[in-house]
Structure 1
Amino acid sequence: MALLYRATRLKDRADTHVFTFVVTRSATREPDRDVTSKDFCCAHQRWAVAFHRSADASLGVYLVWRGSCEGMRVYVDFTFTLLSRDHFTANEGFSGKQVKFSAGGCAQGRGRCVSLAELTAKFADARGEFQLELTMSRVRTIYACELRAPRLDTQPIAFAGFDWQVCVTGGCSKEPLSLRLVRLSGEGQQCRVRYALAIGEGERRVHSGPLECVCDAEGRTVPWVPRPPVRQTNKTVRLTLELSWARLLAELNVAAGGRAATCYDRDKQAWAVRCDTHSETVRLHMLYRDVHHVPRNHLRYVSWSAWLVRAAPAPGESDADELPGAPFEQYYAQDSADEGLMMETALRVEDVSRAGCALMHPGGELRVRLEWGDTYLLFQATYHVYDDLCRLHAHQMRREISVLQAENYSLERQLFSYQKSLAYAQAQAGEPAAAVETGRRSPAERSLSTDTEYA
């Protein structure tokens, strides 16, 4: 088996995700059966990691796209790394830049990643288990198709757990052509989606730029009208849709008196939000009601953001205030009840009962908007020996960095000494100094002005 052990989002510009898998010996001792991990989500697509043992006693590793759809392409930067048991500099792996996944090529990787002998000697422990790290970044989801009148609607597109469709209307006589992204599934649920549309090809291609909006009750978004206007013809028209993300929203009214309100996340798990007024500012108590449904010996990681919605926002004013500290994230293990997480707000308790409070709604209620983020089900609910490897690597890297810093300080000290000697020699010879002395000290002088020794 290949068990998802830990998941980390680096929150960088490339939106890098790091997944660590614990791979059991079944991946190497059962040549007649390929081993595949359970599905996991990254960039709103479903993925899996597969292992294949070849006839020449080597192990292949593949990244598998589970959400294949005709006309859709996904581009990913990914890196597979086998974690060494001895030293992080002995890690081995391979990577790919903007690797294309499509309906005809759902698996990408290397058929001969490592020999079984090397795997056993350098990476596997006494139980035959080893750790594999997968890094994914710059994930792009693009759907493209050809439209011909009279049918100007796309086929259903699967993304982020919903089915979508682009509807094209107008374009005849004086009515301008407009495009609208429509969500076909998830009735009664709100979601915020970010996407971009383009129509045409070459010099006649018109691009919408990034679009972001909340789907209405019928799953529709705001229509986009290309500029300059596009007219329908008997020829086919090239349509391109790039989907960035789609996040489920939940809005609930929370009574200031303390009665809890219930909502559900994207996995149909129940949550409760209660208003707490026992502090200077109002706090929202977030409770995971279905914490007892977390599988035994597993952790469930959940992240979300939260806003307080204004009752009557002024023109040009934001309709909601994000809570300090968002986004929130928490790990949950199986338990009889959840103690909950306190979310601070900027609303003072004394303002709750004051007339005209912008955040209070009729009935003395606060309207809370939740936006659900990443969710992962991770193997091993407690600290385990597997964590020692990452801790070992972290300590080794700190040691390496300390040594490099010491060498850098030593070189700076030598350089500063040479500069002083050169300036002294030039002064004795009556030559002009190479550098004019100023009141501001150089970085080298500032760092070497003391007698501190660096080990």
Structure 2
Amino acid sequence: MALLYRATRLKDRADTHVFTFVVTRSATREPDRDVTSKDFCCAHQRWAVAFSRTEASLGVYLVWRGVCEGMRVYVDFTFTLLSRDHFTANEGFSGKQVRFYAGCAAQGRGRCVSLSELNAKFADARGEFQLELSMSRVRTLYSCELRAPRLDTPPIAFAGFDWSVSASGGVGKEPLTLRLQRLSGEGQRCRVRYALALGEGDRRVHSGPLECLCDAEGGTPPWTPRPPTRLIHKGVRLTVELVWARALAELAVPVAGRAATCYDRDKQAWGLRCDTHSETVRLHMLYRDVHHVPRNHLRYVSWSAWLVRVAPAAGESEAEELPGAPFENYYAQESADEGLMMETALRVEDVSRAGSPFLHPGGELRVRLEWTDTYLLFQATYHVYDDLCRLHAHQMRREIAALQAENYSLERQLFSYQKTLAFAQAQAGGEAAEGGRRSPAERSLSTDTEYA
């Protein structure tokens, strides 16, 4: 088996995710058994890690589970086998903007490492080893031809929803208008970021990044290309880039009263209670289904939260994000959750009086939750598997400290050389100036000598 052990988001420009797997000995000692990890999510697509074994070597593949006709996904990924001795002995391979599509849903290397080297450098006494997968710059693109009379795309699977792009107009003087429509998840609100493009080459018209709230019916605002585009009888090429789609939950939380209940994408129950026992209002987030977390597992959940205004003024945003967002926490199986406290910038005295911009009728606050990442991780407590990553971290810190000390020493030497060189140049310049001050007789003699 390949067990997802830890997941880390680096929060860099490339939105890098690092997944660590614990691979049991079945990957190397049971050649007839197909070893594949459980599905996990990255960039709103479902993935898995699969292994192939020959008599002498082991292969590793990244498998795209959300195959959709007409869709292609580009990924920068790196597989790394973690050495038991030193981080510089890690081995792996990588690919830049590797394309996954319906005809090729698995990408990797059939002979990643020999079995003898795997057992000698990477596997422990139980035959288990750790594999690290890094994924970044994930792009999801969907393309098709829009041609009358069919003016909408087939269903597009993304982020757990089915989507479609519908077209209207484009005949006569009426301009063509495009709209992204969510087909599944009835009654569920979400926030989506995407981009649309029509045509190809020099005639391509691009919408740029579009971001909006998708209502309970799944509708989004329409986009009209500029300059206006006509839907010719031969059809037009449509390209959709789906960046992310995050489920939303909006709660009415009484300022003084019981907790409000909502559910995340995995149908897990959460409670949100208002806390007014400090200078500012705090929101107490409770995971009510914490007892449903499988034994010996951790559930990682991250989310963002906003306070919704009653009547936003012109130029004012509809909601104000809570400081410290996004929030994240790990949950293990327990009888009850103690909860996580989220601070707000709203003072308690402002809520107690009428006219507060966030106090809705009935004495309640409207809180919008946006669910981001969730992972079910193997091993709920600190384990011997953690020692390897901690060892690598300490080794890298020592290497960095040694390089910094060496760099500082070289900088001091360079400064000393520059100082010596400047002093020598100053002395040479002074001597040249003194040598140039000759008497008229000397200059005349010199001239006569030169011309003699």
Q: TM-score range by the shorter chain?
A: over 0.9
Q: How many Å separate the matches in 2 of 1:184 and 1:427?
A: 79
Displacement after TM superposition at 1:432 (Å)? 8.9
Match of 2:325 in 1: 326
Match of 2:286 in 1: 287
Displacement after TM superposition at 1:259 (Å)? 1.2
Displacement after TM superposition at 1:430 (Å)? 4.5
Q: How many Å separate the matches in 1 of 2:3 and 2:117?
A: 22
Q: How many Å separate the matches in 1 of 2:351 and 2:412?
A: 62
Within a 5 Å distance, the mapping from 1:250-269 to structure 2 comes to 250-269=249-268
Match of 1:436 in 2: none
Displacement after TM superposition at 1:414 (Å)? 1.6
Within a 5 Å distance, the mapping from 1:51-450 to structure 2 comes to 51-55=51-55, 57-431=56-430
Q: How many Å separate the matches in 1 of 2:430 and 2:138?
A: 60
Tell me if structure 2 keeps the 8 A contact 1:258–1:276: no
Alpha carbons of structure 1 residues 424 and 172: separation in structure 2 relative to 1, 3 Å: closer
Q: How many Å separate the matches in 1 of 2:4 and 2:410?
A: 44
Q: How many Å separate the matches in 2 of 1:368 and 1:48?
A: 35
Which residue identity lines up with residue 163 of structure 1 in the other structure? D
Q: How many Å separate the matches in 1 of 2:172 and 2:410?
A: 75
Which residue identity lines up with residue 262 of structure 1 in the other structure? T
Match of 2:439 in 1: none
Match of 1:7 in 2: 7
Moved more, 404-413 or 278-287: 404-413
Q: How many Å separate the matches in 2 of 1:432 and 1:96?
A: 62
SS of alignment partner, residue 93 of structure 1: strand
Displacement after TM superposition at 1:410 (Å)? 1.4
Displacement after TM superposition at 1:50 (Å)? 0.1
Which residue identity lines up with residue 14 of structure 1 in the other structure? A
Which residue identity lines up with residue 255 of structure 1 in the other structure? P
Q: How many Å separate the matches in 1 of 2:47 and 2:217?
A: 29
SS of alignment partner, residue 68 of structure 2: coil
SS of alignment partner, residue 356 of structure 1: coil
Q: How many Å separate the matches in 2 of 1:181 and 1:110?
A: 37
Tell me if structure 2 keeps the 8 A contact 1:81–1:134: yes
Displacement after TM superposition at 1:422 (Å)? 2.7
Match of 2:30 in 1: 30
Alpha carbons of structure 1 residues 175 and 426: separation in structure 2 relative to 1, 3 Å: closer
SS of alignment partner, residue 117 of structure 1: helix
Displacement after TM superposition at 1:172 (Å)? 1.4
Displacement after TM superposition at 1:190 (Å)? 0.2
Larger Rg: 2
Q: How many Å separate the matches in 1 of 2:413 and 2:7?
A: 44
Which residue identity lines up with residue 310 of structure 2 in the other structure? A
Q: Could you report, residue by residue, the CA deviation over 1:46-82 in whole angstroms, capped at 9, with x for unpaired residues?
A: 0000000024x10000000000000000000000000
Which residue identity lines up with residue 234 of structure 1 in the other structure? H
Displacement after TM superposition at 1:237 (Å)? 1.3
Which residue identity lines up with residue 273 of structure 1 in the other structure? L
Displacement after TM superposition at 1:290 (Å)? 0.2
Which residue identity lines up with residue 248 of structure 1 in the other structure? A
Q: How many Å separate the matches in 2 of 1:428 and 1:150?
A: 88
C-alpha RMSD over aligned residues: 1.2
Alpha carbons of structure 1 residues 358 and 120: separation in structure 2 relative to 1, 3 Å: same
SS of alignment partner, residue 418 of structure 2: helix
Q: How many Å separate the matches in 2 of 1:306 and 1:259?
A: 19
Q: Please list every run of at least 4 consecutive aligned residues from structure 1 whose deviation after the TM superposition is greater than 6 angstroms.
A: none
TM-score by length of 1: 0.93
Q: How many Å separate the matches in 1 of 2:123 and 2:348?
A: 57
Q: Could you report, residue by residue, the CA deviation over 1:322-364 in whole angstroms, capped at 9, with x for unpaired residues?
A: 1110000000000000000000001111111211100000000
Q: Could you report, residue by residue, the CA deviation over 1:77-133 in whole angstroms, capped at 9, with x for unpaired residues?
A: 000000000000000000000000000000000000000000000000000000000
Q: Could you report, residue by residue, the CA deviation over 1:203-253 in whole angstroms, capped at 9, with x for unpaired residues?
A: 221111100011122101101111111112210211110000000000000
Which residue identity lines up with residue 406 of structure 2 in the other structure? E
Unaligned runs of 5+ in 1: 434-455
Q: How many Å separate the matches in 2 of 1:411 and 1:152?
A: 67
Q: How many Å separate the matches in 2 of 1:54 and 1:427?
A: 72
Q: How many Å separate the matches in 2 of 1:236 and 1:427?
A: 77
Q: How many Å separate the matches in 2 of 1:280 and 1:212?
A: 35
Alpha carbons of structure 1 residues 117 and 176: separation in structure 2 relative to 1, 3 Å: same
Q: How many Å separate the matches in 2 of 1:344 and 1:106?
A: 44
SS of alignment partner, residue 413 of structure 2: helix
Q: Could you report, residue by residue, the CA deviation over 1:288-308 in whole angstroms, capped at 9, with x for unpaired residues?
A: 000000000000000000000
Q: How many Å separate the matches in 2 of 1:14 and 1:301?
A: 21
Q: How many Å separate the matches in 2 of 1:291 and 1:91?
A: 37
Tell me if structure 2 keeps the 8 A contact 1:426–1:432: no
Q: How many Å separate the matches in 2 of 1:84 and 1:152?
A: 54
Q: Could you report, residue by residue, the CA deviation over 1:347-387 in whole angstroms, capped at 9, with x for unpaired residues?
A: 11111121110000000000000000100000000000110
TM-score by length of 2: 0.94
Q: How many Å separate the matches in 1 of 2:221 and 2:419?
A: 68
Q: How many Å separate the matches in 2 of 1:425 and 1:16?
A: 52
Match of 2:48 in 1: 48
Q: How many Å separate the matches in 2 of 1:249 and 1:66?
A: 24
Displacement after TM superposition at 1:169 (Å)? 0.8
Q: How many Å separate the matches in 1 of 2:416 and 2:215?
A: 70
Moved more, 70-79 or 168-177: 168-177
Which residue identity lines up with residue 164 of structure 1 in the other structure? W
